[in-house]
A and B are shown apart, each in its own frame.
Chain A
């Protein structure tokens, strides 16, 4: 093995290789190799960070021939790029040395002020001091989990839940307990029962993670009636609520719902994002937290990134200031409503009777449950052949449930493409039904055994 071939942790020449293996990432003159000389050194939390057949199949979803109903990318083609361009040019010429410098770990003060204005639309009265800017709200989920969760702590999530949050909880080795939702969102009695069961087992619940508005992936919204009830259950049980709200301003028919945080300042950490109301490429989100928690979040943020990117924050800030951003959100809503209509219209026209789905009143997603006996994951190869992609339901559960469901997104493809995608999907389902009829139902579990290995979460340009 040449010096060049040695991994940084490989034993130097003359010292025996760990456990007597010949190591090296490059195949040397031969011997035994696992192609990863670090394989015995990874942290336990990397278990499951493996290649997956399902993830590999998503690789075709970005091709133009494929109608991707799998993606969660917002359609930002309607953004006024000239306005954004001018604002950024102005930023560089007038405040360039600030924008390109390190900033505060908590985030730009002026942007935090503007964030408070944004949150006021959902009934939240907050102080900029209690806002921590993060690299997308995804990082806020990470930081909150980092400061609250030890391995083995319980996090309660909806069933199904956001795949990106489940990935964070898994990375911090939390145990996820899912709680049922219905068409009105999280079911209070189910939440009460789950909390009682976990606590009776002597286990510590660190928080309830919920997406109250236009849920990803379920498409449902927590009703106004249930909101105080959910808060009371958590307060009584002394459980914190992590309210993740990236889609709150994207309702099609109604005023924004009142945030959980609007009626409960102490027991709720609220997460927001500019990814869907402006653009995800800036990676600007935030957490609003009670004072003591906020202190820890800032320290955690400093250890993670030193500070959130100044340039992105100032660019977002300039956009909010110089553009009718709410008017833009309204345009987004109209565009998404049209796509939602295309999706649910096509589903009503074409889907077999035994399939069912919800009609979302905002956001990006429809949650479709297949006719009995079908398995969404097992169908994905056939769907790829038919040039249509979706995310199998199991990605949204920490425990392998959800095999009969899938998430369909209507945010990115045009209405015509959505209809074509549904047409292809129906063809796939019909072929699968025929195959299941041939081989008998009740194969569900066994049929996907071979598909169940590896990390199946979709890639970042899909979530």
Chain B
């Protein structure tokens, strides 16, 4: 850099953490750091540890990009701390993260906005113990019907998720979900085309990027299918009639706006045989690994991942110089 050239933007990428998705987060962190460097930023990748706050306070980077997945990464806690130390960061506010990360809460919020989401029930494991698992499971099947999809109420990367096609398989699916958390979401399994829709907002309003359709070789988009290159076929833009692609985009943007999300999110949707688009969940720190869907979609939109994240960094920096806006999150107004 010659004398007089503008100093590079100094960015700290947060990756790692202690969640079940630490490995995914490290992969996202590596990829984004590299992309940001290529777009000219000065990047440091840091894990969550006892030294982090001191470093952030002392070094005062221009912006923080939290790429922590799972619990503390997506439930808003880290962002709350970034607000405390007054550093600009890319991504949604803490309160919005809290709502979005809790799948049952997110479903309820988007449903009120008119989005379809599979009927389901959210129960902590104590309920099964207190009322008898057999009776509760019977009631679930009687009410929600089969097939079902069981997942931890909070968490990502399909960890602890199981499709249940027979009543006899529900108990083990519940045990699988409770291994990852105390509360499980059991919802009606919707058969159809699985798609992911990123939504970005670099300052000019939220817009959907091309829809990605997902066809795992084994039929199940589980952890192995997600993070083994070659084991899943992605179509981007998804081969969908225009009207359906537009509907997916509309649902994703509406979910993003309704939940009060900021900068970047990814909605996971299912399109059933009738062409109805169902909302499954939204991610406030979507995976940005080599095998993740968001970078695919970014590329298909003709964008460069590094440039896009650099734009989000710039927007976050501009935002931080503006008067504080309400931080209530999950605020559709």
Give the residues from 49 to 70 in chain A that come closer than 8 angstroms, CB to CB, to chain B: 50-53, 55-57, 59-60, 63-66
The count of chain A contact residues (Cβ–Cβ below 8 Å) is 51
What is the bound-complex CA distance between A232 and B67, given in angstroms? 59
Contacts of A454 in B (CB 8 A): 223-224, 228
Stretch at the interface among A291-299, A339-347, A364-372, A376-384: A376-384
Q: Can you show 21 pairs from A to B with CB atoms below 8 A apart?
A: A25-B290, A27-B295, A30-B210, A31-B236, A50-B224, A53-B222, A53-B223, A56-B21, A56-B22, A59-B22, A59-B23, A60-B19, A63-B18, A381-B20, A381-B160, A436-B175, A438-B128, A439-B133, A440-B133, A443-B172, A453-B223
Closest CB in chain A relative to B323 CB, distance in Å: 39
Stretch at the interface among A33-41, A105-113, A170-178, A350-358: A33-41
What is the bound-complex CA distance between A56 and B237, given in angstroms? 30
Q: Is A26 an interface residue (CB 8 A)?
A: yes
Report whether B175 and A378 are in contact in the complex, using a CB–CB cutoff of 8 Å. yes
Closest CB in chain B relative to A448 CB, distance in Å: 8
Candidates A26, A34, A387, A435; contact of B178 at CB < 8 Å: A435
What is the bound-complex CA distance between A451 and B180, given in angstroms? 12
Q: Which of B226, B229, B296 has the largest count of A CB atoms less than 10 A from its CB?
A: B229
Closest CB in chain A relative to B161 CB, distance in Å: 7
Convert A232-268 into 0s and 1s, putting 1 for each residue whose CB lies closer than 8 angstroms to a CB of B. 0000000000000000000000000000000000000
Candidates B172, B295, B299; contact of A447 at CB < 8 Å: B172
Q: Which of A56, A63, A65, A385 has the largest count of B CB atoms less than 10 A from its CB?
A: A56
Q: Which of B223, B226, B231, B291 has the largest count of A CB atoms less than 10 A from its CB?
A: B223
Q: Is A20 an interface residue (CB 8 A)?
A: no
Report whether A30 and B172 are in contact in the complex, using a CB–CB cutoff of 8 Å. no
Contacts of B297 in A (CB 8 A): 27
Report whether B22 and A60 are in contact in the complex, using a CB–CB cutoff of 8 Å. yes
What is the bound-complex CA distance between A437 and B130, given in angstroms? 12
Candidates B129, B223, B296; contact of A27 at CB < 8 Å: B296
What is the bound-complex CA distance between A366 and B48, given in angstroms? 32
Report whether A435 and B180 are in contact in the complex, using a CB–CB cutoff of 8 Å. no
Q: Which residue of chain B is the closest to A46 with respect to CB atoms?
A: B230
Closest CB in chain A relative to B238 CB, distance in Å: 10
What is the bound-complex CA distance between A138 and B169, given in angstroms? 41
Closest CB in chain B relative to A52 CB, distance in Å: 6
Report whether B176 and A447 are in contact in the complex, using a CB–CB cutoff of 8 Å. yes
Q: Is A229 an interface residue (CB 8 A)?
A: no
Report whether A38 and B230 are in contact in the complex, using a CB–CB cutoff of 8 Å. yes
Contacts of A97 in B (CB 8 A): none
Report whether B18 and A446 are in contact in the complex, using a CB–CB cutoff of 8 Å. no
8 more A-B residue pairs beyond the given contacts A28-B299, A453-B222, with a C-beta to C-beta distance below 8 A: A27-B297, A27-B298, A33-B233, A35-B291, A56-B22, A385-B181, A447-B172, A450-B222
Closest CB in chain B relative to A94 CB, distance in Å: 42
Report whether B233 and A32 are in contact in the complex, using a CB–CB cutoff of 8 Å. yes
Q: Is A449 an interface residue (CB 8 A)?
A: yes
Give the residues from 210 to 245 in chain B that come closer than 8 angstroms, CB to CB, to chain A: 210, 218, 222-224, 226-237
